[in-house]
Amino acid sequence: MVEVAALLLCAALIAGCAGTPSTNATTAPTSSAHTASPTAGTPAATISSAPNGTVATAVNGSITGTKFNDLNGNGRRDPRSGPGLSGWTIILELQEPNGSAWSEVKRTTTGGMGAYGFSNLSPGHYRVSEVMRQGWTQTFPAENNGTTELDISIGRPFWDGIDFGNFAGPNATGTVGATGTATATGTASATATGTAGTTSTTAAVTTAGPVTVSLTAQNIKFDKGSISVPAGATVTVNFNNMDSGVPHNFAVYTDSSASTNIFRGQIVTGPTTTTYTFTAPSTPGTYYFRCDVHPTQMTGQFIVT
């Protein structure tokens, strides 16, 4: 009987131990951060709780585009454009928060089909430009000195179609944007003689010092075949592009080979007007001017007296 009682007591003790919860159990901590799942049209953003209770948001923005060969020089990417241009350098700059200085943040090289891209971009105001090559002229974009500015934000983190167009034609080496300015100076005016639209037309300047010349582009030709200015004069060209949808500019070279640039004005798409200002060569002689987009159709003599 004693043995039976002992067995019953042990069984009761074992059952009691199995039903008692352990005092060493721990609870897994709850995380205070999460990643929002992106949906169509919604940026991928990581949201976390900061120590002071604020919310921090990071945007993974991107910029993509193509560098195309603008074979017909019309400043547009269309079926007549050539294949993409590979091996060209594209630069990405970020503007300081105070809206003044720009700082280069990335650069890349176009691929086999001319495509390029920048990724993992934080919010900010960006500028995209290309590094020009000797023997090429940029036709797109025609505004803002050949650059594109845009904002990466929560509302629009992804930008596509930020393209650049060029055709084979002389140009200065370096980053687009270091070309002619559009500021009006000078008081003396130039008088034109001859019939508008013919190559015999001459803009004869009879006074020394600053001079102003009016030049019109229409039907893929200049209204003047020659321009004459004093040596070393500050020259202001009031340029009127009357060809709708067609890019033109005014550029001066040492001779018709267009290998050495004296001044190159920004390309503008008509109809529009702009003003170019530059200094004429100090050595008298006959120089050469043209439209870089239409280098064989729109030319003339730039005479320094």
Average pLDDT of the chain is 75
Domains of the chain plus CATH, in order, are: 58-175 (2.60.40.10), 188-304 (2.60.40.420)
User: CB-based contacts of 24: which residues, under 8 Å, 6+ apart?
Assistant: none
Summarised one tens digit per residue, pLDDT across range 286-304 is: 999 999 999 999 999 999 9
Closest CA to 167 of 50, 53, 295, 270: 295
Question: Could you report the average pLDDT of every consecutive run of 10 residues in the chain (305 residues)?
Answer: 50 48 40 35 39 50 93 80 87 88 94 93 95 88 90 93 83 37 36 41 52 94 93 92 93 90 90 92 93 92 92
Angle at 295 between CA 244 and CA 194, to 5 degrees: 75
Amino acid at position 173, single letter: T
Asked if 123 and 59 count as a contact pair (C-beta separation under 8 A), the reply is: yes
Beta bridge partners of 26: none
Closest CA to 197 of 216, 214, 178, 170: 216
Summarised one tens digit per residue, pLDDT across range 44-76 is: 444 333 334 433 345 789 999 999 998 888 888
